[in-house]
């Protein structure tokens, strides 16, 4: 499709966008009494307008029923986590049995690694991407040390080739093949937080299994952003947060996936809690842990209802729209941004502007990671001062993510105009 840099073109695209009305279902922060151009849904999603009503429902139940709210009211808390199961499963391409919402992301990553990182003398290595989000680095390092290994001997980091900015898929597969005999776990992010690169999780899972390893993913930057088919891809386990693309608010709850083939394996080691115990026996308060089948068997405690209510509000929107429609718009919206950045790169070659996110839409979600050598920080500050909320990642990346649920083509066109002015001012 041919594009244009004009505001009129962007507004024409918005007028033809079947999802444009969903923008009105979110609160936008203000800058000089006007809505900001918000491009940080990859860090914290905007607040759905429906959140207050969802929270008020649970506050009213607490007010009205007290402890009996576990069994009374519109959403009895005893089974609150079950309200999320089918909706979350549709977001990540899973069976309901394979998904549960609980805890927070890094907590869940540790709980899953207790079960799925089981090193032996022959197989003890973990393959991960170099430059993964720090929580993943710290979690994997501490798990390795917990099992008595040193990170430098047990962790294999995937890094781009010299002079390149993202990983080649063939290099990932080659590393798995080379290290496979000693590899216990392949553990990557579905989308790299820094570059925005989307990994081919289906191929990576096949390669890991062919090498005899377990395969898991941190989907913090993938869930709600890109199409996922965790069940069909045969992934062993995954976890994700909900406060980025899934708009559940700061510190919002996490989800986990455990493949169906592990659903009834009570012998899998795990750190147990009473909400993961067989619900038919749970209130008999007896010794002897009997895990619920599927992902529910990894639960520790009952649902954090007030923290989870905003997530339910957002998941109801996702369930109404559907990931295929969101992905279709995302490809168009980010494709337009990518084209506009190309125009800036051609107009201002002296700026050094370049994008380290893959060009191929199949290798990215909605994020674009922009590098402007020397003037990047000044450009970022100019954006902030002019009503654009993006984010800065050291040492030199401005991340912007046009989210299809609430960003518009006009947002993207205005980002281009303000970015252009910033480059002119700071060149």
CA 221 – CA 194 distance, rounded (Å): 10
**365-421 tens-digit pLDDT:** 999 999 999 999 999 999 999 999 999 999 999 999 999 999 999 999 999 999 999
Whether the Cβ atoms of residue 151 and residue 180 lie closer than 8 Å to each other: no
**159-202 tens-digit pLDDT:** 999 999 999 999 999 999 999 999 999 999 999 999 999 999 99
Q: Which fold has domain 54-321?
A: 3.40.640
**338-366 tens-digit pLDDT:** 999 999 999 999 999 999 999 999 999 99
pTM: 0.96
**106-132 tens-digit pLDDT:** 999 999 999 999 999 999 999 999 999
Q: Does domain 7-35+322-426 have CATH number 3.40.50.880?
A: no
Structure tokens at 272: 């147990």
For the chain, domain boundaries: 7-35+322-426, 54-321
Whether the Cβ atoms of residue 93 and residue 231 lie closer than 8 Å to each other: yes
Cα diameter, the chain: 72
CA 81 – CA 296 distance, rounded (Å): 9
**Residues 6+ positions from 356 with CB-CB distance below 8 Å:** 165, 166, 195, 196, 369, 371, 397
What is the mean pLDDT of the segment spanning 225-252?
98
**Residues 6+ positions from 176 with CB-CB distance below 8 Å:** 127, 183, 186, 204, 207, 208, 211, 213
Decide: residue 284, CB within 10 A, 0-12 exposed, 13-18 middle, 19+ buried.
exposed
CA 72 – CA 78 distance, rounded (Å): 9
Asked whether the bond before 395 is cis by omega within 30 degrees of 0, the reply is yes
pLDDT at residue 2, rounded to an integer: 87
pLDDT of 1 strictly over 80:
no
**285-319 tens-digit pLDDT:** 999 999 999 999 999 999 999 999 999 999 999 99
């Amino acid at each position: 499709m041919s594009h244009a840099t004009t505001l009129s073109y962007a507004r024409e695209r918005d007028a033809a966008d079947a999802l444009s009305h969903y923008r009105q279902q979110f609160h936008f922060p203000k800058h000089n009494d006007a809505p900001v151009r918000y491009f940080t849904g990859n860090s914290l999603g905007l607040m759905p307008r429906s959140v207050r009503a969802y929270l008020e429902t649970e506050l009213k139940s607490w007010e009205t029923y007290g402890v009996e709210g576990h069994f009374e009211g519109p959403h009895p808390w005893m089974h609150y986590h079950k309200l999320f199961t089918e909706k979350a499963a549709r977001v990540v391409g899973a069976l309901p049995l394979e998904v549960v919402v609980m805890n927070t992301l890094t907590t869940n990553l540790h709980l899953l690694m207790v079960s799925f990182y089981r090193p032996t003398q022959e197989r003890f290595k973990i393959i991960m991407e170099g430059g993964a989000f720090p929580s993943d680095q710290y979690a994997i390092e501490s798990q390795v040390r917990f099992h008595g290994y040193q990170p430098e001997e047990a962790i294999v980091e995937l890094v781009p080739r010299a002079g390149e900015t993202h990983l080649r898929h063939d290099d990932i597969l080659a590393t798995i093949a080379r290290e496979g005999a000693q590899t216990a776990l392949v553990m990557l992010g579905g989308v790299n937080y820094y570059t925005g690169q989307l990994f081919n999780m289906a191929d990576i899972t096949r390669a890991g299994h062919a090498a005899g390893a377990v395969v898991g993913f941190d989907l913090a930057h993938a869930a709600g952003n890109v199409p996922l088919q965790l069940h069909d891809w045969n992934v062993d386990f995954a976890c994700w947060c909900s406060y980025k693309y899934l708009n559940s608010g700061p510190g919002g709850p996490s989800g986990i996936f455990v493949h169906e083939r592990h659903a009834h394996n009570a012998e899998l080691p795990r750190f147990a809690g009473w909400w993961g115990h067989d619900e038919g026996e749970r209130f008999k308060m007896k010794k002897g842990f009997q895990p619920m089948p599927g992902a529910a068997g990894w639960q520790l405690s009952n649902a954090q209802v007030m923290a989870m209510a905003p997530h339910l509000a957002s998941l109801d929107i996702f369930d109404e729209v559907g990931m295929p429609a969101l992905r279709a718009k995302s490809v168009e919206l980010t494709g337009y941004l990518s084209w506009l950045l190309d125009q800036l790169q051609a107009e201002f070659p002296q700026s050094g502007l370049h994008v380290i996110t893959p060009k191929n839409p199949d290798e990215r979600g909605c994020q674009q990671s922009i590098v402007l050598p020397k003037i990047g920080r000044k450009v970022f500050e100019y954006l902030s001062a002019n009503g654009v909320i993006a984010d800065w990642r050291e040492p030199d990346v401005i991340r912007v993510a046009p989210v299809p649920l609430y960003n518009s083509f006009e947002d993207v066109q205005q980002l281009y105009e303000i970015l252009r002015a910033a480059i002119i001012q700071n060149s």
